[in-house]
Amino acid sequence: MFPGMVVRDSDRLKTGEGSRLLLRTREGSTIKLGAHASFRLGGAEQREGNVFAATMQVLEGAFRFTTDALSRYRGRRDITIQVANVTAGIRGTDLWGKSAPNREIVCLIEGRIEVAPQNEAPITMDQPLQFYVRENGRSQPVSLVAPEQLKLWAAETEIEAGRGAMRRGGRWAVTLVTAETQAAVLDFYDRVREAGYAASILPVKEGEKTVYALRLANLATRAEAEALALSLKGRMGLDEPRVSR
């Protein structure tokens, strides 16, 4: 993926080691995904009566869904989030959840949701910091999460400053490798893309000749670019990534 990319119905998104992903829906809500997450968006549409409807599937990993209180959107939302075998119906809220082997978590941060475990009666959650856990196919009693635990959960989906985040409109870049032929860069390109980085190959003038550069662009600040370059140094055969603008 790359910043500003449009996600279409039935697209399946996957994140890698140490990564984060921020998505924004057309009506202003945000979805944050943590590392090793698998996510699918389906049925996103604007219905009659100014209702935005969508079904989101969290197949694996941690996520956070938040509606923007300052959004100009004045319609209603009919959004369903499926976390493995648990379905949460929401009407504008802030919640965090995670799908892990034999364990699903849904934590209400603000608002109101209805949690519907597979083959069980729905559970309404309308108090901040209530959370639901299903372990080995069995629902546990709804409890209140400690603020310290919520901070740990939230950190799994937050994009931290100085970790090399790419954003739409970012003007900094990291050049991973350069070569005299495009073919010489392709092997690095495949490795970097396979690792989940939105790399591109660009022709660049160096004196009188043209070389081909493998580059990661759209970094918002020099600090973000330097952090990304440092994290990639020595990985995937990349010896000395360089920061530029």
Topology of domain 172-244 in CATH is Alpha-Beta Plaits (3.30.70)
CATH architecture for segment(s) 12-155: Sandwich (2.60)
Predicted local distance difference test score (pLDDT) of residue 74: 63
pLDDT one-digit tens code per residue, 164-212: 788 888 899 999 999 999 999 999 999 998 887 889 999 998 888 999 9
Tens-digit pLDDT string for the chain (245 aa): 778 888 888 889 998 888 899 998 877 889 999 999 999 988 777 788 777 788 889 999 999 999 865 556 566 777 889 998 899 887 668 999 999 998 999 999 998 999 999 888 999 999 999 999 999 989 999 999 999 999 999 999 998 877 778 888 889 999 999 999 999 999 999 999 888 788 999 999 888 899 999 999 999 899 999 999 998 999 988 999 999 98
Predicted local distance difference test score (pLDDT) of residue 75: 66
Domain ranges of the chain: 12-155, 172-244
Predicted local distance difference test score (pLDDT) of residue 72: 62
DSSP the chain: --TTPPP-TT-EEE--TT--EEEE-TTS-EEEE-TT-EEEEEEEEEETTTEEEEEEEEEEEEEEEE--TT-S--SEEEEEEEETTEEEEESS-EEEEEEETTEEEEEEEES-EEEEETTS--EEE-STTEEEEEETTEEPPPEEPPHHHHHHHHHTT---TTS--B-TT--EEEEEEEESSHHHHHHHHHHHHHTT---EEEEEEETTEEEEEEEEEEESSHHHHHHHHHHHTTSTT----EEE-
pTM of the model: 0.81
